[in-house]
Structure 1
């Protein structure tokens, strides 16, 4: 938003404001400042501390470390200049500006509504319930400890399987033949759970018994001979370790449910939009017609 405001706060403006000391100490006006405190009046239009704070909250990350006594006069100058220019504007807004205002108003109101929904969704009771259902009483997560030998062809993999059936040492064969990065360490992959390995590999491991060796398994990396060392049930985490994750999930869940409910209660017709060629988004010049 801020980069569309003219004139913008520049480094030169901030440096030039270094000598200014506009901050009012508590007591100079008799009352502590609040969002409604008037900081300037331009041709009868009040600019409040609330306006300054809102602009400050929307500044880019690069301004985060700028001292307040430098930022304050720059923001106040910005608002005064904008007010002067806005008052001087004659005629209607351009189509682009008017549509931008509509979009921004819609986005701000929607953000306020989402914040309200999210705030009410997170309670200690809701967090505990989510934790119990998804971490304590949810489906147990199995972890696997396996090793593999990766080669280029099925024939090579099949030959290795036969050697292993004859009593060959898996680790030694991995060190000698595996083209994967785990080869020098005997093919050891360590512990992993569902989703951490490519699907054919994961499916093969899940169908194995600890201590067994697989038939050749093909993935996009080549052909694998897998040995499943052992399995274990992943311990449930402590509530405090996953609280932030749970709170995020509850907020998102509440927002999604609210939007779904609103869509069901209101007539939403997007037929025309869905039928349109997406390339129309590149026709920015339509705003100038």
Structure 2
């Protein structure tokens, strides 16, 4: 049985529970979210409560077989109802949590609608055109390097490489960097990916050329430029997720700004609060 509650709790018998509390549906009834699937001391548990409980589960539990989920979720709701019925009046902390939770959920309803209206193909195309429409192809570089601790060692390796020694073999033998075992290969990278001194030295090289020793905060480098290529702007589909997030954020910010502009908001009491109150007042304090 799926343990959806704390390990301190044990599940009720589904069969015994069903015999005592389930309200049978007639064969011609079509269950809806309002259909009562259980009662606990008169309190109704509906199919909607079950569905909402499932939606709140972590993803790995939502994928469990429905024949496991359904009795487990009903057990959970029954136990929660029993426990809540014996709790007495809700403490201040619970009332505040419920108010905050409702506020969060209703804000989410509004944001879902804002996002649904905002993220359209036209909006994505407009965002793409604004970000990439006029973008020129950029240069990418494929380079290898040997990293050593001092300039003298770097100069000696530069001389060996320029005189015909295999650069990859030199990197494997001498480089202290993580790319050493791979022959110093750094793969393809664009501008801004490397520290400025390394990048400037790489850009200044012709393919196949080897740099003078270059100092960075990591040590001394000997760089070999293997190749250069042009990288075109990405397609819309390649950046669709990024653009959707951008459009969503802009739409949310615009909606909040619009609502704020049209609302009457008084923060004077909040602005006068001592931040230390966060540590000095408890939730259940009267």
Please indicate, yes or no, whether the TM-score normalized by the shorter chain is above 0.5.
Answer: yes
Q: CA deviation at 1:84?
A: 4.8
Confirm or deny that 1:287 pairs with 2:278: no
Confirm or deny that 1:153 pairs with 2:147: no
Provide the C-alpha distance between the structure 1 equivalents of 2:23 and 2:98, rounded to a whole number of angstroms: 33
Provide the C-alpha distance between the structure 1 equivalents of 2:171 and 2:253, rounded to a whole number of angstroms: 49
Alpha-carbon contact 1:9-1:74 (below 8 Å) kept: no
TM-score of the superposition, structure 2-length normalised? 0.73
Confirm or deny that 1:225 pairs with 2:222: yes
Q: For structure 1, which runs of at least 5 residues remain unmatched after alignment?
A: none
Give the direction of change, closer, same or farther, for the CA distance of 1:107–1:144 in structure 2 (3 Å limit).
same
Give the direction of change, closer, same or farther, for the CA distance of 1:80–1:210 in structure 2 (3 Å limit).
same
Q: For structure 2, which runs of at least 5 residues remain unmatched after alignment?
A: none
Q: CA deviation at 1:226?
A: 1.8
Give the direction of change, closer, same or farther, for the CA distance of 1:251–1:204 in structure 2 (3 Å limit).
farther
Give the direction of change, closer, same or farther, for the CA distance of 1:19–1:206 in structure 2 (3 Å limit).
farther
Give the direction of change, closer, same or farther, for the CA distance of 1:80–1:24 in structure 2 (3 Å limit).
closer
> What RMSD over aligned residues (CA atoms) do the two structures have, in Å?
4.1
What are the Cα deviations for residues 58-107 of structure 1, in whole angstroms up to 9, with x where unaligned? Answer: 1234533433233323333443444455455544x212212211221122
Q: CA deviation at 1:119?
A: 1.4
Q: CA deviation at 1:35?
A: 1.5
Provide the C-alpha distance between the structure 1 equivalents of 2:232 and 2:283, rounded to a whole number of angstroms: 57
| 1:179 counterpart residue number | 176
| 2:73 counterpart residue number | 75
Q: CA deviation at 1:285?
A: 7.5
Confirm or deny that 1:144 pairs with 2:136: no
Give the direction of change, closer, same or farther, for the CA distance of 1:218–1:263 in structure 2 (3 Å limit).
farther
What are the Cα deviations for residues 134-164 of structure 1, in whole angstroms up to 9, with x where unaligned? Answer: 3453353431111212110133334544x27
Confirm or deny that 1:127 pairs with 2:124: yes
Provide the C-alpha distance between the structure 1 equivalents of 2:248 and 2:139, rounded to a whole number of angstroms: 28
Alpha-carbon contact 2:53-2:73 (below 8 Å) kept: yes
| 2:36 counterpart residue number | 38
What are the Cα deviations for residues 26-62 of structure 1, in whole angstroms up to 9, with x where unaligned? Answer: x944232222223334565443211221112112345
Aligned residue pairs total 277
TM-score of the superposition, structure 1-length normalised? 0.73
Q: CA deviation at 1:12?
A: 5.0
